[in-house]
Amino acid sequence: MVARAGEGPAPAGQATPERRSVKERLADAQPSLADALPTGTGDNPLTKTALGISTFTTTEGAFTIDSTGVITRSGSASPIAVSFDVQGPAAAIDVERVRDKHVLVLSDEVDPAELEALAVSMWDDAGWVGPGELRLSSSATLRGAWSVDAAARRALGTPEALTQAWVLDCPRTRSEEVSESMGEWARAFPDGLPTGLEYRILQALARMARRLAGALRLAPSGFVMEPDAESAVNLTVYSPRWIAPEDLLSALRDRGGFTGLADARDLSPAGPSPQMEDAEAERIARLRQDLGPMREDIAARIERERQELAATGESQKVVEGYALVGPIGGRSEVMIEVHAVPSPPRVLRWEPWTASTIIEYQVRWLPGGSLDAPDATLSRSARRERLRSASDIENAAGLIATMAGGNVIDEDGFLVGLEEIQEADDQEPQD
């Protein structure tokens, strides 16, 4: 019989070691003195207590084998998930303690989870760090929710319908100059505008207030900024898919009901308008003559490409972008601008498809057909027109999202959930 390597006879005077299975050796492994976290003693596992639960960690059994083959059992610490109750009963806000703080006020209908979702869409490290503590970024935290009763609303000057408050904890940095061009911000900070982190956080909170139909009380002036939630009309669809102009135009006309929509390139005059002065037309003609003849190689290349397109019957592809324009609402227009963009908005930074081609479909409201921004203060009829136009904007963006996929973003950079417009089933009429 041939002995295996390492299984020869034991040296003289030494007993032959007992051969044991790995299972038996693991069962008899001695505990290490460096166990990560001990547990309470007891034979019944149901009554054992993990003494490390207060540190939000737990232990799992682990085995180590040294160079001599000795097996040792030890405990390996691992973190456990802890959920915070962020929707418990809100305590009444202390008016005197928050007078010199920035306060975001919302209605009771706003769930704290909505606030967290908006924060996560803007900051990588945003999230709950404790009950009622929502970290925004680095040194900025929202604390709440606090209940704002009628007396507190009168003292703080906040709107009557907003009874939920979140207090901002953020370092202050102010500039010495105030520009009147800053509008509401200049009125809120007459002694110096916020800068750096404080300004970025306040800008973000103002966007959140508009999305959630809330308001922002700014300290120390006590100025209350109440953005108009209905003023965010424009929508943008981001998608990895390119829709040809003729396909999008046909879909919006036939399925969306935008019968007056047209390609903006077809609306541009091909030549001088009848109103053009004769002197201007002559000047353009002279400029064209001064350009001289086209280089032969360029002319040959253009002619070759024209012949190739004519032979294949394919139309020239749009690679730079295009725009569609048409009437919406009662007396407004919509402009749909389509082009590729190099990077996605921040809210889509984790979407895997954004690593490739990103196509932007911007659906813009043109009040009265003008490219100028609407006035901050609108009449009642202008507000009705805006509501009608906003409905058409949503329908157009929903149809584009159905065709191209991707995501819909509002003016403030937040995700919007629109009901997709499903394609009608092509069914034969029944007798």
Question: Which of the residue ranges 19-28, 267-276, 356-365, 368-377 would you say has the lowest mean pLDDT?
Answer: 267-276
pLDDT at 12 exceeding the cut of 80: no
pLDDT at 379: 82
pLDDT at 74 exceeding the cut of 90: no
Which DSSP category does 181 fall into? G
CA distance 157 to 74: 61
CA distance 40 to 93: 42
Q: For the whole prediction, is pTM greater than 0.85?
A: no
For residue 239, list its beta bridge partners.
359
For residue 127, list its beta bridge partners.
135
pLDDT at 407 exceeding the cut of 90: yes
- Cβ atoms of 408 and 388 within 8 Å: the answer is no
pLDDT at 319 exceeding the cut of 60: no
Indicate the burial class of 93 (C-beta count within 10 angstroms; 0-12, 13-18, 19 or more): buried
Three-state SS for 289?
helix
pLDDT at 118: 96
Backbone angles phi, psi at 225, to 5 degrees: -100, 115
- Cβ atoms of 365 and 390 within 8 Å: the answer is yes
pLDDT at 289 exceeding the cut of 70: no
pLDDT at 277: 63
CA distance 406 to 244: 16
